Structures are given as C-alpha cells and as structure tokens.
Amino acid sequence: MTKPSAPITQDVHTIPRKLPEGGKVNLVGLTRDQLRDVLIEAGTPEKQAKMRVGQIWQWIYHWGVRDFAQMTNLAKDYRAMLVERFEITVPEIVSKQVSMDGTRKYLLKIAGGHEVEAVYIPEENRGTLCISSQVGCTLTCSFCHTGTQKLVRNLTAGEIVGQVMVARDDLEEWPEQNTPKNETRLVSNVVLMGMGEPLYNFENVRDAMQVVMDGEGLSLSRRRITLSTSGVVPEIAKTAEEIGCLLAISFHATTDEVRDKLVPINKKWNIETLLNALRDYPRLSNSERITFEYVMLKGVNDSDEDARRLVKLIRGIPAKINLIPFNEWPGAPYERSDWERIESFADIIYKAGYASPIRTPRGEDIMAACGQLKSATERARKSRAEIQAEAGL
Ligand code: SAH
Ligand code: SF4
C-alpha cells in the first residue's frame, strides 16, 4: 500500500467553476450567492438579482427544466442572454444497470471524459441515492475497490448535485406543472458513500449539499443526507457547522494496529484522535447520533472481543453501529465474515444498548454494493483496450 507523502489535497486538480473565456458557465451547483454574482456579472441589475435567482432556481431545481426557453416567467431578451452565457448541464448517463432487487447503478460521464458511479436503492418507505464525490480516491483502504484506483480529480459541486438530478430524470420524479404534488419521494435520502473521500473535497461537497438542501428546490432536509468519511479529523467540526448533515464514520477496527492496515488514514489521525473529534459532532450539528460503519472481515476484525472493545471505545457518543458484510470484488484480499459471526457480533453491541443493524447488501449482482464502485468501469475499459489491441489499433 502506498500513501502519498505530499499533503493529499495538493495533487487534486479541481475543474474551475467558470470555464475559460468564451465558454458557457454551468448554473448547476452554484449556491444562491454564486448564482447572484454570475447574473450580475452578466448584466442583471442588482435590484432584480434576488428575484431572478429565485425564478431560475425554481426552474432548475423544482421543475427540473434544462432549457432556458421554458422559463416562461422571464422576459424573452433575458432568456436570450441566459442562453448566450450560461448552460444547465448534468452528467451524462453512459449506462444503467438494474439489479434483481431494483437497485439501479448509473455510470456517469463528466467533463474530461471521466466516469463516476451513482447507485439508487429503493426501499419500502424511501429511496436512497448513493453519490460519489471524487473520481477514484487518494486513500488506500485495503478492503475497498475504489481504493485501488488512483484519484483522478475532485468532482465539482455541479457534478455532485448533477447526480441527484440525473437520478430524478431517470426515475421521472420531477413534478409536473398543474398537477398535484406527489408526496412520496423516490429519491428521499442521499448518502455520500460512493466513490471518493468527501472530506477531501469539502468545499464542493458543502456547496452541493447546500443546493440539495435548499427548501425551494430539491429540498432534502439535512437529516436525510449522510456523509461518510474515513476520518478526516480536521474537517469534522466544519462538516457539523457548515453542512449539518448526518455523519457516518468508516470505523472498521478497534485497535490502531488493525485500523492502520484497513483504513490507513488512521496513521495520521488515530482512533483516539478521531473519537475526540466525534464527541462534539452531535451538539455542533444538532443531530442525534453518529453512525459507525463496520465492515465484517473474516478473522480480521470480527471477534467477540472486537465487539466488546468497540462498545467500550464509543461509550458516551450517541451512536448507531452499522455492520456491513464485506462485499467481495475480484482479487480482494479479504473474505466476508460468516453469518453466525456477524450475528454474534451484533448481539454484543445490541446488548450494550446500541442499535446494530446489519446492512443488507444491495445490488450485488451488478457490483453496486458499498466499496465495489468503479470496478465494472475498470473492467469495461480494460476490455475495450484489449479489443483495440486485438484489432491492432
Ligand atoms: N470514502 C468514504 C465514503 C465512501 S465508502 C468512506 O470511506 O467513508 C462507503 C462505505 O463503504 C465506507 O464505510 C467504506 O469503508 C465501505 N466499504 C468500502 N469497501 C467496502 C467493501 N468492499 N465492502 C463493504 N463495505 C465497504
Ligand atoms: Fe476511499 Fe472510502 Fe474506499 Fe477508503 S473506503 S479507499 S476512503 S472510498
């Protein structure tokens, strides 16, 4: 396993929000303030700017409109100006796979020809969209397939919000004008549990979530958004204060020795440092509890002793422990713990007073489960390369 020796954010190439001179600015992912600024820059009188922001915002995020011509409450010449200077673009769906259990995995193409994945998981009373924050990941958690892929770049706020919009397109979830509002939401929850470490792309993730949470648009409450981090300690308090969403921690081990191997960021911020940073989160974010994610790896972190150590470690932190049966991927160096082992582990946690749901793997037949993302793409790329080689290209 290699760890970058330079500060991790230094090699991150973020695409600027504004394209070079002459290019159109994508309005998707701009916060209200940023949208106001670009509209004023484009000649909108300051006095009107707030109203224009409200109108355009509603078209884009409430009605799902992509074409300025449909923004009928704006004057024709104003719409013409918008067409000239701006665009409303979301990632393009390259392919979609639907699992036997209804899970949908989208392969999305973003600027520069890069690809990321998003997964929609329908459940009885809700639907969760799992979105990506980076192409690849700088970290190298040894059980995670995304971790075997180098970081290509951070996603822009627009590309993060765009994943939610694309899923709504595919599920045909945008409201129709003049028809009653549909109260059951298909995308009712968002989890930042796809590819990448969201806290190494903090500003874009924060701006994107501000757009997603805005009450006049996509309107998902902050309690319906969960950000999962491997434990980027300096960003945790900021997440509470500037996003305020629910937090999940990829905990996965109960000793530094084991966590160093599974989640190598532990060498930078160890278990004690991480837990100290977490103690303030519920108060700062005014949320009830933190989710501790714990992947069950046979013979590595799944003993009864681990379970007992885990509850001792998190004592005093309002928490729920989410046990994730390991999702295997080709070449993975671990195996999933046996079912009885997982149940025995869950039992100890439950008896200690914590909720300990075992996450049902979803979309396994299409490799859409946690930690499996990007694998299919890599395979597809490889086979294309092989095909080209065979064809002598
Ligand atoms: N980078 C962030 C979010 C993406 S991973 C993080 O690490 O938290 C989402 C969750 O899936 C994390 O808890 C991660 O540890 C877990 N995960 C990764 N690979 C997995 C695998 N193969 N099986 C089960 N869970 C996995
Ligand atoms: Fe990156 Fe999360 Fe995978 Fe670790 S588990 S390599 S932080 S995506």
Cβ of 197 less than 6 Å from ligand 2: yes
pLDDT of residue 4: 40
Is 257 annotated as a binding-site member? no
CATH 3.20.20.450 corresponds to the domain 22-87: no
Which amino acid makes up residue 174?
W
Q: Assess whether pLDDT exceeds 90 at residue 360.
A: no
Q: Assess whether pLDDT exceeds 80 at residue 379.
A: no
Is 252 annotated as a binding-site member? yes
CA of 214 to the centre of ligand 2 (A): 28
Find the mean pLDDT for residues 224-237: 97
Instruction: Pick 328 or 365 by higher pLDDT.
Output: 328
Q: How many helices (H) and strands (E) does the chain have?
A: 12, 13
CA of 197 to the centre of ligand 1 (A): 10
Work out which ligand 2 atom sits closest to the CA atom of 230: 7
Cβ of 137 less than 6 Å from ligand 2: yes
Cβ of 210 less than 6 Å from ligand 2: no
pLDDT, tens digit, for every residue of 249-277?
A: 999 999 999 999 999 999 999 999 999 99
Residue 373: pLDDT band (50, 70, 90) is low
What tokens were used for 161? 């919000």
Positive or negative torsion for Cα 357, 329, 264, 303 = positive
What tokens were used for 375? 């694998």
Find the mean pLDDT for residues 372-381: 48
Cβ of 115 less than 6 Å from ligand 2: no
Residue corresponding to tokens 């989640």: 263
pLDDT of residue 12: 40
pLDDT of residue 378: 45
Catalytic residue list: 117, 370
Residue corresponding to tokens 């837990």: 275
Sequence ranges of the domains in the chain: 22-87, 92-390
CA of 136 to the centre of ligand 2 (A): 9
CA-closest residue to ligand 2 atom 4:
141
Please state, in angstroms and rounded to a whole number, the distance separating the CA atoms of residues 102 and 100: 6
Residue corresponding to tokens 């973020």: 14
Pairing of strands 189-192, 153-154: unpaired
Cβ of 377 less than 6 Å from ligand 2: no
Helix (H) or strand (E) holding 41: helix 32-41
| DSSP conformation letters of 74-138 | S-HHHHHHHHHHEE----EEEEEEE-TTS-EEEEEE-GGG-EEEEEEEE-SS-EEEE--SEES-S
Binding pocket residue ranges, ligand 1, CB within 6 Å = 141, 143-144, 193, 197, 228-230, 250, 293, 295, 324, 326-327, 370-372
pLDDT, tens digit, for every residue of 93-140?
A: 999 999 999 999 999 999 988 999 999 999 989 999 999 999 989 898
Q: Assess whether pLDDT exceeds 80 at residue 8.
A: no
CA of 166 to the centre of ligand 1 (A): 23
Is 68 annotated as a binding-site member? no
Work out which ligand 1 atom sits closest to the CA atom of 197: 1
Instruction: Pick 66 or 386 by higher pLDDT.
Output: 66
Pairing of strands 127-130, 189-192: parallel
Residue 212: pLDDT band (50, 70, 90) is very high
Q: Assess whether pLDDT exceeds 90 at residue 309.
A: yes
Work out which ligand 2 atom sits closest to the CA atom of 147: 6
What tokens were used for 329? 């991927």
Q: Assess whether pLDDT exceeds 70 at residue 76.
A: yes
CB atoms within 10 A of CB 217: 19
Structural contact between residues 296 and 338, judged by C-beta atoms closer than 8 angstroms = no
Q: Assess whether pLDDT exceeds 50 at residue 214.
A: yes
Cβ of 117 less than 6 Å from ligand 2: no
CA of 371 to the centre of ligand 1 (A): 5
CA distances from 350 to 182, 292, 294, 307, 314 (A): 38, 14, 14, 10, 13
CA-closest residue to ligand 1 atom 9:
193
Please state, in angstroms and rounded to a whole number, the distance separating the CA atoms of residues 135 and 149: 9
**What kind of architecture, by CATH, is found in domain 92-390?**
Alpha-Beta Barrel (3.20)
Is 132 annotated as a binding-site member? no
Give the closest residue to 192 by CA, choosing from 216, 163, 158, 172. 163
pLDDT, tens digit, for every residue of 10-67?
A: 334 444 444 445 589 999 999 999 999 999 999 999 999 999 999 999 999 999 999 9
CA of 70 to the centre of ligand 2 (A): 41
Q: What is the residue-averaged pLDDT of the chain? A: 88
Classified as helix, coil or strand, 352 is: coil
On whether the pTM is more than 0.85, the answer is yes
Please state, in angstroms and rounded to a whole number, the distance separating the CA atoms of residues 308 and 344: 11
User: What does the buried/exposed string (b/e) look like for 294-314 if buried means 16 or more CB atoms within 10 Å of the residue's CB?
Assistant: bbbbeebbbeeebbeebbebb
